[in-house]
């Protein structure tokens, strides 16, 4: 039986695992990386040890330091049982690292914050974590460090992009509004003459089932992409308000979103989709072409649109 695909040397022995004819899905590379990286770096966690407090407590302290809040916030963020949290907090409190006081807004809740000593302990956690990262990097030469940083940044971007979840969102929901706000803010920068698009909440039913749909992608709580489908009639759908946060465009999130929206349009019973865009959004125009869209005549009177596209869904 062959060696484990996770074999320890980098010498290409793992490359042979993918049988000759298969398409590479690269999962082996991911697994190999996971294994060696977690083994060597020991994850973030380890730097939380050795402060004379158990891991869970340190994690909680860290989280409080990142952003103080109510016990409820912390429970949700760390997914803890309320009884367990209560005990952890009491321990931190008795070590004089955190303050716990009733929330004036709702006196059932408690607000949690760091004391001066707690801030100090938090800094220590930060320092350890940074030290660990530095330990990893120091044996390398400057060029190698740069290569490592570039590789990790690239991997980070792609992993983030891969783990973004596209979610059907009501156009009036706060996440949807936040996404569209970011969208219009960006357009506003591009067209200083003043830019005006209809408020998303104006006709929300057009972007809501059963007539349409609106998708928002969030990462770490903030919107990174959005887009909707509405009906134009005659079996034709229209893709609207498609936007991807600038830093995320390199990761192909746009095409993924577009593909998804086409699928939604198909489910809504459309045979084709159209969309319009401004000529200055060159990346977007290129992406539409790559995705199989062809340019057509103006089909609406949107003053900001210069290019009009269509794609057959069958």
Which residues are near DNA by CB under 7 A?
53-57, 70-72, 75, 81-87, 89-90, 100, 106-110
Q: Which is nearer to DNA, 56 or 188 (CB)?
A: 56
In degrees rounded to 5, what are phi and psi of residue 294?
A: -120, 150
| Residues recorded for the chain | 314
Out of 183, 214, 243, 248, the only residue in the binding site for its own copies (CB under 8 A) is 248
Residue 78: is the preceding peptide bond cis (ω within 30°)? no
Q: What is the DSSP letter of 204?
A: G
Tell me how crowded residue 236 is: count the other CB atoms within 10 A of its CB.
16
Q: Are 43 and 50 in contact (CB under 8 A)?
A: no
Q: Which residue, 72 or 311, has its beta carbon nearer to DNA? A: 72
* Contact letters for its own copies, residues 56-95 (x by CB under 8 A): ----------xx----------------------------
What are the b/e assignments for 25-39, b being 16+ CB within 10 Å? eeeeeeebeeeeeee
Closest to its own copies by CB, 35 or 266: 35
Rule CB under 8 A: say whether 22 interacts with its own copies. Answer: no
* Residue 22 interacts with, from its own copies, DNA, none (CB under 5-8 Å by kind): none
Interface with its own copies, residue 232, by CB under 8 A: no
How far is 284 from 207, CA to CA, in rounded Å?
21
Helix, strand, or coil (residue 269) = coil
Residue 305 as a binder of its own copies (CB under 8 A): the answer is: no
**Closest separation in Å from C-beta 223 to DNA:** 21
Question: Which partner, its own copies, DNA, none, binds residue 107 by CB below 5 to 8 Å per kind?
Answer: DNA
Taking the C-alpha atoms of residue 216 and residue 164, their distance in angstroms, rounded to an integer, is 10
Among positions 16, 44, 50, 76, the unique one binding its own copies when judged by CB under 8 A: 44
Closer Cβ to its own copies, 143 or 314, answer by number: 143
Kindly give, in sequence order, each residue whose CB lies less than 8 Å from that of residue 165, ignoring residues fewer than 6 positions away. Answer: 217, 218
The entry of its own copies, DNA, none that residue 311 binds, CB within 5 to 8 Å by partner kind: none
């Amino acid at each position: 039986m062959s060696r484990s695909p996770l074999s320890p040397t980098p010498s290409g022995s793992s490359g042979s695992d993918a049988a000759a004819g298969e398409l590479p899905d690269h999962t082996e590379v991911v697994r190999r990386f996971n294994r060696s990286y977690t083994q060597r770096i020991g994850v973030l966690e380890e730097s939380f040890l050795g402060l004379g407090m158990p891991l869970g407590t340190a994690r909680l302290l860290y989280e409080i330091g990142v952003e103080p809040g109510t016990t409820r916030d912390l429970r949700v963020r760390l997914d803890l049982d309320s009884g367990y949290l209560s005990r952890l907090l009491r321990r931190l409190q008795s070590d004089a690292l955190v303050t716990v006081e009733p929330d004036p807004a709702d006196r059932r809740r408690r607000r949690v914050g760091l004391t001066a000593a707690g801030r100090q302990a938090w800094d220590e956690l930060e320092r350890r974590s940074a030290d660990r990262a530095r330990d990893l990097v120091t044996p390398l030469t400057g060029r190698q460090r740069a290569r490592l940083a570039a590789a990790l940044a690239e991997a980070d971007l792609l992993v983030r992009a891969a783990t973004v979840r596209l979610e059907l969102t009501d156009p009036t929901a706060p996440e949807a509004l936040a996404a569209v706000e970011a969208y219009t803010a960006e357009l506003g920068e591009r067209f200083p003459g003043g830019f005006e698009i209809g408020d998303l909440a104006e006709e929300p039913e057009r972007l809501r089932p059963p007539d349409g749909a609106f998708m928002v992608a969030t990462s770490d709580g903030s919107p990174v992409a959005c887009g909707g489908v509405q009906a134009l009639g005659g079996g034709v759908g229209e893709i609207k308000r498609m936007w991807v946060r600038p830093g995320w465009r390199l990761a192909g999130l746009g095409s993924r979103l577009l593909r998804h929206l086409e699928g939604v349009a198909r489910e809504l019973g459309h045979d084709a989709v159209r969309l319009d865009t401004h000529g200055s959004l060159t990346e977007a125009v290129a992406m539409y072409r790559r995705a199989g869209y062809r340019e057509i005549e103006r089909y609406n009177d949107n003053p900001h649109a210069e290019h009009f596209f269509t794609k057959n869904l069958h």
